[in-house]
Structure formats: C-alpha cells, structure tokens
C-alpha cells in the first residue's frame, strides 16, 4: 500500500506575479526548489493565506535567487502579488519508508529568500 504524504513545504512565500495569459502552472525560484527537493513539472498544492483559496498545479522553475513565485493561468484570478502562500508538495511512500520519512520545510523572508530549512520534524511512528 502507498500513502500520500507531505514531502516538502515552502512556508509563507509571497506571490510576486500573477500571469493570467500563461497556459498554467506556478513558477518557483530554482533555489527554493533545490532546498525542498521539489522537481519541475511536479504537482503541488498552493494555499492562499490572504483569502483561503486552494489551487493545485505543476511547477516550472524560475531563475535562482530572484524570489519568483508566480501563479500562471486561471489561478491568477485567485492569487495576487503580495499574497502570502504555503506551497505543499506531496509524494507517495510505502509503509517501510514512513518510518524514516521527514518532510522538508523551507522558511522564507518577505523577498522569498531562504531563512531556514527544517528537516527535524518527528518521524511517523505508527504501524499503518
């Protein structure tokens, strides 16, 4: 059996752009992707702390060190520059992987530059 679990999170990033005329996706600074281990074209969930909206789309990498967080296509109507968001990446794990699984949490400043990377949350300790 496989379990869909949080793999990585970018916590309280600031939306830098919303581009309605793009096909879709979210552009994320490559430096943030490297810190989380999230990959281009991987599915993520974005939660808007400003209005409670939730969106799911895939990642496209942005230039490193620029702090880009851009919602492209339809979510540009729901996410606006300046909104704070949480970006969540989920992956499938089998039961044996759960014992050592620890999600990566990346904290950022107001310019989406990394302030801290945490991988120390308590591992999952129950028998599924």
pLDDT value, residue 65:
96
pLDDT digits (tens, 9 = 90+) for 113-126: 999 999 866 555 55
pLDDT value, residue 124:
52
Give the residue among 76, 74, 78, 90 at the shortest CA–CA distance from 42: 90
Average pLDDT over residues 80-97: 96
| Distance separating alpha carbons of residues 75 and 87, to the nearest angstrom | 14
Cα–Cα–Cα angle for 125, 105, 85, rounded to 5 degrees: 125
Catalytic residue among 3, 25, 96, 100: 25
Q: Which band of pLDDT confidence, cut at 50, 70 and 90, is reported for residue 99?
A: confident
pLDDT value, residue 23:
79
Active site residue 3: no
Active site residue 41: no
Cα–Cα–Cα angle for 13, 16, 18, rounded to 5 degrees: 115
The first and second tokens of residue 66, run together, are 């620029």
The full 3-state SS of 40-76, as one line of letters, equals: CCCEEEEEECCCCCEEEEEEEEECCCCCCEEEECHHH
Which sign does the torsion angle of CA 28, 33, 38, 40 carry?
Answer: positive
| Distance separating alpha carbons of residues 118 and 27, to the nearest angstrom | 22
Catalytic residue among 3, 22, 58, 96: 58
pLDDT digits (tens, 9 = 90+) for 35-85: 999 999 999 999 999 999 999 999 999 999 999 999 999 999 999 999 999
Contact predicate 20/73, CB 8 Å: yes
């Amino acid at each position: 059996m496989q379990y869909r679990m949080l793999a990585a999170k970018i916590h309280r990033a600031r939306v830098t752009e919303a581009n309605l005329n793009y096909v879709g996706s979210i552009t994320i600074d490559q430096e943030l992707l490297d810190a989380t281990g999230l990959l281009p074209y991987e599915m993520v969930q974005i939660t808007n702390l400003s209005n409670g909206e939730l969106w799911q789309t895939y990642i496209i990498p942005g230039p490193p060190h620029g702090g880009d967080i851009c919602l492209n296509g339809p979510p540009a109507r729901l996410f606006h520059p300046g909104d704070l968001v949480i970006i969540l990446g989920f992956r499938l794990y089998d039961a044996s992987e759960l014992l050592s699984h620890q999600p990566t949490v990346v904290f950022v400043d107001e310019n989406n530059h990394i302030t801290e990377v945490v991988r120390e949350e308590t591992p999952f300790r129950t028998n599924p």
